[in-house]
Amino acid sequence: MKPRTLGAILAGGRSTRFGSDKALAPLEGRPLILWVAEALAAQCDEILICGRELAGYRCVKDRPGPDLGPLGGLAAALHDGRARGFDQVLSAPCDTPRLPPDLSGLLAGEGAAFVGATPVIGLWPIALAETIDAFVRDDPKRSMRGWAAVAGARSIDLPTAIPNLNTAADLARL
């Protein structure tokens, strides 16, 4: 039986390096976040926006609150997914518009997995919901790599790098 997968777009950041709201920054006439939503929708049973509101999508606030980086969004997604009967969460930040069409398959396997170069992109079993709460509460760095280690996640190197657009210059180069 195929696992039920919730696609979580992590979009709660302040975009300080970008200089404006990067989720809504246009790429080929469409906001970055919609590129990510489209890519995840093709691989997931449902899409969830974490850390912001976006018309037409189910949205949740970061957990346990804002300004926790991507872990706040992932924690919210794991809990939302658990409450609604999902088996796993496929996470990606709102600034990765060129996700592979087979990302879920590339990360599939036993337990959690993440893209080695971009650990915010990962496949996380719902069973990690309580573990992430403890990590967010107790780890002062709240790093994605630290979380991946605690989660026992496998690091997957993809054949092609996924562009991560942290600055307006990154977007211009893409």
Using the structure block, give the residue that is written with the tokens 């039920």. 4
Percent of the chain whose predicted confidence (pLDDT) is above 70: 93
Q: What global pTM score does this model have?
A: 0.94
Q: Are residues 91 and 122 in contact, defined by beta-carbon separation less than 8 angstroms?
A: yes
Percent of the chain whose predicted confidence (pLDDT) is above 90: 77
Question: What band does 17 get if pLDDT is binned at 50, 70 and 90?
Answer: low
Q: What CA–CA distance (Å, rounded) separates 41 from 102?
A: 12
Segments making up each domain of the chain, as ranges: 5-173
CATH number for the domain running over 5-173: 3.90.550.10
Q: Are residues 121 and 91 in contact, defined by beta-carbon separation less than 8 angstroms?
A: yes
